[in-house]
Amino acid sequence: MLLNIVKYEMTRNLCEMTYNFDPDRWLENEIAFLENRYKSGKMSEPEYEASLEKRHKRHEEMWNRLDGTYRIPSEKFHGD
């Protein structure tokens, strides 16, 4: 049933998609996790700094993907 609903939605002229994901909240949670590991001695300072840098880069990438309105052209699904 769900597959049929998805197929129907995808065959419409344009499909709108919304996201309920908050990259800023994700980053806050990741930083809190890393700080806890660092302060408890489970992570060295270089590991902590490298992990922070990776999280900030990933956060930026998330915003680049999520920023704006996205539409999926239906032409890709007409062959189904």
* Residue 27 confidence (pLDDT) above 60: yes
Domain that holds residue 69: 2-77
What is the rounded average pLDDT of the residues 14-36? 82
pLDDT-derived band at 62 (thresholds 50, 70, 90) equals confident
> Count of domains in the chain?
1
pLDDT for res 21: 74
* Residue in the structure block whose two tokens are 């996205």: 70
CA gap 2, 18 in Å, rounded: 18
pLDDT band at 13 (very low <50, low <70, confident <90, very high): very low
- pTM value > 0.85: no
- Distances 23 to 10, 51, 52, 65, 71 between C-alpha atoms, Å: 26, 16, 15, 11, 20
